[in-house]
């Protein structure tokens, strides 16, 4: 893993970068030090040595033994660099596999990584429901995952979804802040529950279609609970169109939810990244409403 020192980090040392900027766990920092896994411009230097703009840090990572099972499946790559990968998930594909199913996005990404000579370990940073489409972010190594996981938890990765909701939503902007828990009467369904997990969804109505009785909305999340958008929209009386599990109409073959965009500052290059996922449905769901 190669990282060029940016202007903002000049004068810091390796210890400060690892602890204060990227917030690597203490165990990871200790392992890197013990393994002598870090070089600066090709040399093993003291970790307290101040770094200069343009210096190159090379981190040699331990390879994980817990590798994924690669499966050859179509994969649309939206963004890729040495640290991370963003792909466009189609409907009907689970994000990660289970005991009986290895045709997941994780398996497809593992196959791609193997094809480019990398270890087939697909580290997803977040996930989408099986019938939700759109962008999913993966880390290409263990350290990238540590940093991206923390960024997601700290809401430094902005996720924007587009949805078609049943009915005409009158408020052009709104916030749904109610906790979500399991539905004890159904194995997979979630529900609003006082004892559930804290959850906030923000929405913005982009367009309303009175003839079809639909609202096109943009959603962003402060939290990432299972089925969060689906549960919250159903709670306010505007379930996702096509979402039969939560009371939606049968207008579409799946819930009309698409992870449209990811935005964040790249943790290792400090470049602003914006990733937009094209629509994948055939027949189309969103296109005629744009």
Kindly list the catalytic residues. Answer: 129
Structure tokens at 232: 């919250």
75 CB-contact burial (10 Å; exposed 0-12 / middle 13-18 / buried 19+): middle
Structure tokens at 248: 């939606």
Pair 96, 106: CB distance under 8 Å? yes
Pair 149, 125: CB distance under 8 Å? yes
CA triple 199-151-89, angle to 5 deg: 75
User: How many residues would you count in the chain?
Assistant: 290
Name which of 208, 224, 228, 99 is nearest 164 in CA terms.
208
């Amino acid at each position: 893993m190669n990282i060029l020192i940016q202007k903002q980090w000049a004068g810091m040392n390796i210890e400060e970068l690892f602890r204060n900027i990227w917030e690597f766990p203490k165990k990871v920092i200790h392992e890197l030090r013990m393994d002598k896994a870090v070089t600066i411009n090709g040399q093993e230097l003291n970790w307290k040595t101040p770094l200069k703009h343009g210096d190159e840090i090379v981190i040699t990572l331990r390879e994980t033994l817990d590798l994924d099972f690669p499966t050859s499946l179509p994969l649309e790559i939206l963004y890729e660099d040495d640290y991370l990968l963003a792909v466009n998930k189609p409907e009907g594909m689970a994000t990660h596999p289970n005991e009986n199913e290895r045709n997941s996005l994780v398996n497809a990404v593992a196959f791609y990584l193997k094809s480019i000579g990398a270890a087939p370990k697909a580290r997803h940073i977040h996930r989408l429901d099986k019938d939700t489409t759109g962008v999913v972010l993966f880390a290409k190594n263990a350290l990238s995952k540590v940093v991206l996981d923390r960024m997601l938890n700290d809401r430094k990765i902005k996720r924007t979804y587009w949805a078609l909701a049943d009915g005409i939503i009158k408020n052009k902007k709104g916030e749904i802040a109610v906790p979500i828990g399991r539905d004890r009467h159904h194995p997979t369904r979630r529900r609003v529950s006082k004892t559930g997990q804290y959850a906030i969804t923000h929405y913005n109505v982009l367009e309303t279609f009175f003839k079809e009785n639909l609202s096109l909305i943009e959603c962003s999340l402060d939290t990432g609970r299972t089925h969060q958008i689906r549960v919250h929209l159903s709670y306010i009386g505007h379930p996702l169109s096509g979402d039969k599990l939560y009371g939606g109409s049968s207008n579409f073959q799946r819930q009309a939810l698409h992870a449209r965009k990811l935005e964040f500052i790249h943790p290792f290059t400090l470049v602003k990244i914006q990733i937009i996922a094209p629509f994948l449905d055939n027949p189309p769901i969103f296109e005629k409403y744009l």
